[in-house]
A and B are shown apart, each in its own frame.
Chain A
Amino acid sequence: MSATHMTEASPAGGVDWGLVGRQIVGILRMELRNQLFSRRAFALYFLAFAPVGIMALWAASPVPDKLALSGPIDASRVYAFVFQGYLSTSIFLSCLILFMSLFRGEILEKSLHYYFLSPIRREVLVAGKYVAALIAVTGVFAVGTTTLYLLTMSPWGLGELGRYLFSGPGLGHLITYVSIAVLACIGYGAIFQLAGQLFKNPVSVAVLLWAWEFINPFLPSLLKKLSVIFYLNSLLPVPVAAGAFAIQADPIPAWVSVPGVLLLTAAVLALAGWRARNMEISYGSDD
């Protein structure tokens, strides 16, 4: 049998980025199939589209009138509330399930060694898996966020909706909400991927993180800044009242919060790459 032997070193002695690119495409093929078409994907679709189903019922019912909403501008307050729940529950949990299983799930299924026996840098593997999960989760939640938004604004007819989107603040708000959803996936995804690599029982870590994010409105200003949700909330185009016992803090401007989340992600992914380089395969009793 003959096979074309490839090495990562290019003739010039540097990294053969073409080969790395092909390897990432190979990882994406495998991982996207796993993330979007396996049993695990059911949780993703349920979390993303169950709220959409509820909102569709809401839009089709006479409830908006009962709530004395006069039009999309009023409804944007409803959407701000819905989106915050969507962010802290659906997006958070989906990222948890998908990203945490990237490594831990494969360890449980005893299939991670196939990747480790491939001629790819472990850092490339981390990046490939992360990008694949990110594509899956952002794709689904971009659709989910957009559909939720359009449904919330739809009870007053397509004409009103069109005017709100294209002549009012609607489109800008929608783009901001989708961007926040994507940014949430980027940040939470990196954290959960690392947790899946570091901890045998990463769910406890996830529960703690969830609790921390949940109590964020009630934390002092300094502690608030040690969470992802605070930076995401700062970007919301329509602020949401945090509740009676919440402690107010000045929102962080977008030029700080967006690079902040991205920098945090880069740091966490670098740590994940280092961890992957040192990982050994010893499938213990993780059940």
Chain B
Amino acid sequence: MAVYERTYSRYQGPLTSTSTRFLILPKYAFREVFASKWMLAFLVLCFVFPLWCCAVIYLSNNADFLALFPNLDITQFLKIDADFFFTFLQVQAWYAFFLSLFIGPGLVSRDLSNNGLPLYLSRPFSRVEYVVGKTTVLAIVLSAITWVVGLLLVTMQASFVGWGWLADNLRLVFGMFVGSWIWILTLSLMSLAISAWVRWRPVAAFAMFLVLLGGLFFGSTINLLFRTEVGDLLNLIKVIFVLWASLLGVDSGLETSVFSASVVLLLYWGGFLYMLNRKIRAYEVVS
């Protein structure tokens, strides 16, 4: 019997810290995401409305501009308050949704198609880290067009009217930050869950579209047929708007209660997490 000298020894060099290991996923995902010119063009488009808001804030605080309309209470149109930022969030929410349509569908589906999951999960890298890593990809991009730019607008307004305004509107800051994160988490979980189940990217994108539009359609139909507002609970966009309105302290114009909206949102999250739990595995169960 041949006995060979043992020459293999395990890697003993430095390892990425366990706390930041999940960041490896966005590092490589971003390269792919930003390789698309369409994606870059759309990302630029996402900042058009914030620029417009920037201009409005500037003009609303510009005495020379206001003096051009002596007979008109222009401040009524250029009022910078919670409603203004609610509108800002509503518009950016759609941009965030379309951005996640670009980025989200390929996040997990590619790994599943290429049998990449066993490769990730056979390393000291857990399923949770995998999901967090993939979520981070969307979270970073969506943050840039929602709360980051939103807080910059708040800061701009505060710098014009005095920092006292900021102290008076701390709820706005909190609401914008938390509200944005609610939407970012919802979109990220939805994208990942659908991407994990639908391996064909265009279909995954379409499925995300359907989750939103299907809820809207069925919700509206129920409202019409039953003469009720309960259908709004199926409409994810309306659920989010109710929560944002509550966080920012404005009137959403909807009858749905914050409690029921919260419960519905948690159900959506639970559903997405269940879908992820079923698919993000190092092995496939064949029955």
Contact = CB atoms under 8 A, between A and B. Distances in A.
A105 B109 CA distance: 15
Contacts of B201: 287
A267 interface: no
Interface stretch (B56-64, B140-148, B184-192, B214-222): B214-222
B217 A89 contact: yes
Nearest to A61: B226
A206 B213 CA distance: 15
A51 B225 CA distance: 11
A286 interface: yes
B225 A63 contact: yes
Interface residues on B, range: 20 to 34
Given A63-B227, A287-B109, A54 B218 contact: yes
A108 B225 contact: no
Nearest to B105: A287
A9 B38 CA distance: 52
Contacts of A54: 218, 221-222, 225
Contacts of B206: 203, 206-207
B221 A51 contact: yes
B225 A78 contact: yes
A58 interface: yes
Contacts of A82: 221, 225
A202 B203 CA distance: 9
A287 B113 contact: yes
B226 A204 contact: no
Interface in A85-112: 85, 89, 93, 104-105, 108
A50 B106 CA distance: 29
A117 interface: no
A104 to B, nearest CB: 8
Contacts of B209: 207
B202 interface: yes
B103 to A, nearest CB: 15
A201 interface: yes
A5 interface: no
B64 to A, nearest CB: 41
Nearest to A47: B214
A67 interface: yes
B51 interface: no
B279 interface: no
A252 B113 CA distance: 48
A9 B67 CA distance: 90
A82 B113 CA distance: 39
A106 B224 CA distance: 40
Contacts of A67: 227
Residue from the set A85, A104, A287 with the largest chain B CB neighbour count within 10 Å: A287
B226 A63 contact: yes
Given A54-B218, A61-B226, A78-B225, 13 more contacts: A54-B222, A58-B226, A66-B227, A81-B224, A82-B225, A85-B221, A89-B217, A201-B202, A203-B202, A203-B203, A286-B200, A287-B109, A287-B110
Interface of B: 106, 109-110, 113, 199-203, 205-206, 209-210, 217-218, 221-222, 224-227
17 contacts: A54-B221, A54-B222, A58-B226, A61-B226, A63-B225, A63-B226, A63-B227, A67-B227, A78-B225, A85-B217, A89-B217, A204-B202, A206-B206, A287-B109, A287-B110, A287-B199, A287-B201
